[in-house]
Amino acid sequence: MAPARALPAPLVVHGRRRQLRRRRKYCKLCYLKGSSMVPTIQAQGDVGLLDRRCLAGYDFSRGDVVVFRLSTDHGMKMVQRMIALPGDWIQIPEKRDIRQVPSGHCWVEGDNAGNSWDSRHYGPVPLDLMEGKITHIIWPPHRVRRVDRMVPEGRIMPLSATPRRKQQ
């Protein structure tokens, strides 16, 4: 019986790099910091699991906590909760305004509304700028848990209550 041959070391290392790259394509760890998502994400910082599989078919739901790049500064990433999807009508209580989310966009807001810079300030976010959704908090150990989906009550208007266009 012939002895098993070992692969050359550089090939193994290269193989591991490729494996890591492939894993990052589907999910990665993300350091989350800031006060706009308190209490879901702590201001001093949590580590979350970023699920990137949702990007293939824009598989997002109302209530998902998402990471996205700002349209004005692609280097800056934000974490907010997805409140409305394309075509939804959203009620903005602070402005006493009702808007429809355009096609290819979503509406995001922070859980800590009083301390959040979100779609109420910069408008709908293009879905193309999404990096993925946070599904779990994995650090610190006492906060390990699944991130719940939730949407503030009364923000999304049912289809029957949406403003109707005048027929001409």
What pLDDT digit, counting tens, does each position of 81-127 carry? 999 999 999 888 777 888 899 999 999 999 988 889 999 989 999 99
CA 32, CA 102: separation in Å to the nearest integer?
28
What pLDDT digit, counting tens, does each position of 26-84 carry? 889 999 998 999 999 998 889 999 999 988 888 899 999 999 998 888 888 999 999 99
23 by DSSP, 3-state: which?
A: helix
pLDDT reading at 20 higher than 50? no
Residue 31: its pLDDT value, please? 93
- DSSP one-letter code for 74: T
pLDDT reading at 22 higher than 80? no
CA 130, CA 146: separation in Å to the nearest integer?
20
Q: Which two tokens stand for residue 144?
A: 């390990």
Mean pLDDT of 119-145: 94
* pTM for the full predicted model: 0.78
| Single-letter residue type at 158 | P
More confident residue, 4 or 164: 164
Architecture of domain 26-148: Ribbon (2.10)
Residue 161: its pLDDT value, please? 53
| Distance spanning both ends of the chain, measured CA to CA | 86
What pLDDT digit, counting tens, does each position of 142-151 carry? 999 999 998 8
